[in-house]
Amino acid sequence: MTGKSETAPQTFEAWQCIGCGRIEGPQPCIGICQDRKVQFVIAAEHEAALARLADAERANAALGGPVRRLARTRPRDGEWERSYRALQDEARRALAELRAGA
């Protein structure tokens, strides 16, 4: 997978208020605390997004070849239909592999 770090993101456990959503995590105070606004992502939602990304990367890998060949192929005169059908068969095989892997 390109562009993706292979290390897992740092996680920590915290308490979340079921009413307002406030999040607190236990941490020893050294007396110089300041509050600042931060953003968090729920771990399950992050994992689901990673799974969707992996699915999209598999689809890109499987379908990229047929799409590139379609874009770069220039059939000989009178041979466009045979070339088109060959590309169509390749794309169908790629789609079947994606369905089988899902």
Domain ranges for the chain: 15-101
- Tens digits of residue pLDDT in 5-36: 567 677 778 888 888 878 887 777 777 777 77
Q: Got the DSSP string for 35-83? A: --------HHHHHHHHHHHHHHHHHHHHHHHHHHHHHH--PPTT-HHHH
**Closest residue by Cα to residue 70 from 48, 85, 53, 52:** 85
Per-residue pLDDT at 53: 94
pLDDT tens digits along 50-100? 999 999 998 998 888 888 888 888 888 888 888 889 889 998 998 898 888
User: What pLDDT score does 54 carry?
Assistant: 92
Which tokens is 27 given?
């941490």
pLDDT score recorded for residue 6: 61
